[in-house]
Structure 1
Amino acid sequence: MTAIMERPAAFNVPASVELELTGKCQLSCVHCYNESGPAALHGTMTLDDWRTVISECAELGVLVVQLIGGEPTALPGWADLVDHALSVGLDVEVFSNLFHVTDKGWAIFSQPGVRLGTSYYSVNAGEHDRVTSRPGSHAKTRANIVKALELGIPLRAGVVRCHDGQLEELARQELLALGVHHITVDDARGVGRAGGGQAPTMDALCGNCTRGRLAILPDGTVAPCVIGRWLGSENVKAPGGLRGVLSGQAWAKTAAGIPPKRTTTGACTPNDSNDCDPSRTPACAPAYGTTPGPVSLGARTPNDSQSCAPTEAPCNPSFGLPGFGL
Structure 2
Amino acid sequence: MPIAHHAPPGEAARLQFVSLELTSRCQFTCPQHCYAESGPTQGHGSMTDDDWRRVIDEAAALGTDTVQFIGGEPTLHPSFTGLVHYALAHGLRVRVYSNLFRVRAEHWALYARPDVRLATSFYSSDAAEHDRITGRRGSHESTRANLLEAVRRSIPVRVAVIGGGQRAEQARAYLLRLGIKDVTVSPVRAVGNAAVPSVLPSTSQLCGRCADGKAAVLPDGRVAVCEIGRFLTGGSVKDGEGSLAAVLSSPRWRQLAAGIPRSAGPCPPDCSPNDDSCGPSSGDTCDPADG
Specify the code of the residue in structure 2 equivalent to 1:205.
L
Partner of 1:275: 273
Which runs of 5 or more structure 2 residues have no equivalent in the other structure? 1-6
- Could you list the per-position Cα deviations for residues 229-275 of structure 1 after superposition, in whole angstroms to 9, with x for gaps in the alignment? 11113001345410111111111111111111223xxx452232x31
Of 230-239 and 151-160, the range deviating more from structure 2: 230-239
- Give the match for residue 192 of structure 2: 192
Partners of 1:25 and 1:239 lie apart in 2 by 27
User: Does the C-alpha gap of structure 1 residues 181 and 14 become closer, same or farther in structure 2, counting only changes over 3 Å?
Assistant: farther
Q: Shift in Å at residue 306 of structure 1? A: 8.0
Please name the residue that 1:100 is paired with. 102
What letter is aligned with 1:119? S
The residue matched to 2:234 in structure 1 has which SS?
A: coil
Letter in 2 for 1:37: G
Aligned to 1:321: none
Instruction: Please state how far the C-alpha of 1:302 moved relative to its aligned partner.
Output: 6.1
Preserved contact between residue 269 and residue 278 of structure 2 (Cα < 8 Å): no
Alignment-mate amino acid for residue 103 of structure 2:
V
- Opposite residue 242 of structure 1, the aligned amino acid is L
Alignment partners' CA distance in 1, 2:189 and 2:278: 24
Shift of 1:153: 1.8
Residue number in structure 2 paired with 1:319: none
Q: What is the alpha-carbon distance in structure 2 between the residues aligned to residue 306 and residue 118 of structure 1?
A: 15
Give me the TM-score of the superposition, normalised by structure 1: 0.80
For the Cα contact (< 8 Å) 2:22–2:44, is it kept in 1? yes
CA distance in 2, matches of 1:159, 1:306: 19
Deviations 1:261-299 (A, max 9, x none): 223xxx452232x3132xx33956xxxxxxxxxxxx563
| Aligned mates of 1:201, 1:282 — CA distance in 2 | 18
Find the residue that maps to 1:15 and give its secondary structure: strand
Residue identity matched to 1:183: V
1:133–1:42 Cα change, 3 Å? same
**Root mean square deviation, CA, Å:** 2.3
Alpha-carbon spacing, 1:74–1:117, altered in 2? closer, same or farther (3 Å): same
Letter of the 2:136 partner, please give it: R
Structure 1 Cα separation of the partners of residues 166 and 256 of structure 2 = 35
Separation of aligned partners in 2, 1:43 and 1:138:
28
Structure 1 residues 166 and 32, CA gap change in structure 2 (3 angstroms):
farther
Which residue is equivalent to 1:49? Answer: 51
Identity %: 46
CA–CA distance in structure 2, aligned partners of residues 268 and 306 of structure 1: 17
The residue that corresponds to 1:170 in the other structure is 170
Contact 2:161 2:172 (8 Å CA) reproduced: yes
**2:155 paired with 1:153:** yes
TM-score by length of 2: 0.89
Distance (Å, rounded) in 1 between the aligned partners of 2:68 and 2:111: 13
Separation of aligned partners in 1, 2:288 and 2:255:
30
Q: Which has the larger displacement, 230-239 or 184-193? A: 230-239
Corresponding residue of 2:3 = none
The aligned residue for residue 324 of structure 1 is: none
Instruction: Letter of the 1:233 partner, please give it.
Output: G
Note if contact 2:162-2:185 (Cα within 8 Å) is conserved in structure 1.
yes
Q: 1:49 and 1:97, CA in 2 relative to 1: closer, same or farther beyond 3 A?
A: same
Structure 1 stretches of 5 or more lacking a match?
1-7, 285-296, 308-326
Residues 124 and 144 of structure 1: CA distance in aligned 2, closer, same or farther (over 3 Å): same
Query: Any residues of structure 2 matched to 1:10-25 within 5 Å, and which?
Result: 10-25=11-26
Taking a change above 3 Å as real, the CA distance of residues 35 and 305 of structure 1, as seen in their structure-2 partners, is: farther
Distance 1:153 1:177, change over 3 A: same
- Equivalent AA in structure 2 for residue 179 of structure 1: G
Q: CA 1:206–1:180 in structure 2 vs 1: closer, same or farther (change >3 Å)?
A: same
Distance 2:235 2:77 in 1: 23
- For 2:261 and 2:28, locate their aligned partners in 1 and report how far apart those are by CA, in whole Å: 33
For 2:194 and 2:278, the matched residues in 1 are separated by: 29
Q: How does 1:1-326 map to 2 (within 5 A)?
A: 10-29=11-30, 30-161=32-163, 167-197=167-197, 198-237=199-238, 238-263=240-265, 267-272=266-271, 274-277=272-275, 280-281=276-277, 299-301=283-285
AA at the equivalent of 2:28:
L
Give the drift of 1:31: 0.7
Q: 2:95, 2:117 within 8 Å by CA — same for their partners in 1? A: yes
How many residue pairs match? The answer is: 280
